[in-house]
Amino acid sequence: MTRQARRDTLVWGFILIAIGIVFLLDTLDIEVWDSVARFWPLILIFWGGWKLYFGIKDKNEAAKAVKHDGN
Enter the pTM of the model: 0.52
The per-residue pLDDT for 31 is 85
Using the predicted structure, report yes or no on whether residue 4 has a pLDDT greater than 70. Answer: no
Q: What whole-number distance in Å separates Cα of residue 42 and Cα of residue 49?
A: 10
Q: Would you state the pLDDT for residue 45? A: 92
Using the predicted structure, report yes or no on whether residue 11 has a pLDDT greater than 90: no
CB 36 within 8 A of CB 22: yes
Residues 16-25, mean pLDDT to the nearest whole number: 90
For position 17, what pLDDT does the model report?
Answer: 92
CB atoms within 10 A of CB 63: 10
Is residue 67 within a helix (H) or strand (E), and if so which, with residue range? helix 33-70
Q: State the angle between helix axes of 3-27 and 33-70 in degrees (0 to 180), rounded to the nearest 10.
A: 170
CA distance 48 to 36: 18
More confident residue, 14 or 71: 14
